[in-house]
Chain A
């Protein structure tokens, strides 16, 4: 079935680095834009980054620009988020989400989400 599975979260010290992965299955991964969206404990959803289907177009939230790098490997059906210079405020569950228009000509929505991976930044 259509599925996204994140991995790579954990405990890291401030200033440290971490790489998150998202494995896709059940759909043609290379056809879709992909996003990382995070949720701090007890807080709402915050968009982090986006990458186009071929990887040529990338955007970041201002809060992570210059520190995080999104990438994808369509041959491996995988999405990545490289996180450097981590701060306490980056502590959150990180979700990968598929972006898709559900109808032709419609607005994109996040129609498939992974289960999330927890990143904790603490000394």
Chain B
């Protein structure tokens, strides 16, 4: 079955750029979504269709997807960006969604 691989943690200083990766076999041929989950809260969609942002999500959040890696990039990182981030694709064979294991973003 299809597997999405994320690094368990990423650390970045405030004001710097954070890049969170999501690896999968030929993931570039799939559409990737990214969700942000702060402690004790429900997930929030921050990027859909690889690189689009829902209304209300800051332009600092962007996404890309090519080959075997999709990337969520957060520019000018703020303390409030500290959260777990999950990538998600659709397993078209089984018609259900798959989530990566999640990456904890720590703002130093």
B94 neighbours in A (Cβ, 8 Å): 59
Contact call A103/B52, Cβ cutoff below 8 A: yes
User: A interface, by DSSP: helix, strand, loop or mixed?
Assistant: strand
Residue interface bits B70-108, CB-to-A below 8 A is 1, else 0: 000000000000000010101000111111111000000
Q: Would A110 and B45 count as touching, CB distance under 8 A?
A: yes
Binary per-residue interface labels of chain A (28-57) against chain B in the complex, 1 for a CB within 8 Å, 0 otherwise: 000000010000000011110010000000
Check A108 against B96 for contact (C-beta < 8 Å): no
* A106 at the B interface (CB under 8 A): yes
Chain B residues bordering chain A, tally (CB within 8 A):
25
Q: Looking at chain B's contact residues, is the secondary structure mostly helix, strand, loop, or mixed?
A: strand
**Closest residue of B by beta carbon distance from A106:** B49
Q: Nearest Cβ distance between residue A16 and chain B, in whole angstroms?
A: 26
Set of chain A residues within 8 Å of B97, measured between Cβ atoms? 35, 47, 110
Contact A102 B86 (CB under 8 A): no
Inside 8 A of B41's CB, which chain A residues have their CB?
115
Q: Which residues of B contact A (CB under 8 A)?
A: 31, 33, 35, 37, 41-45, 48-49, 52, 54, 86, 88, 90, 94-102
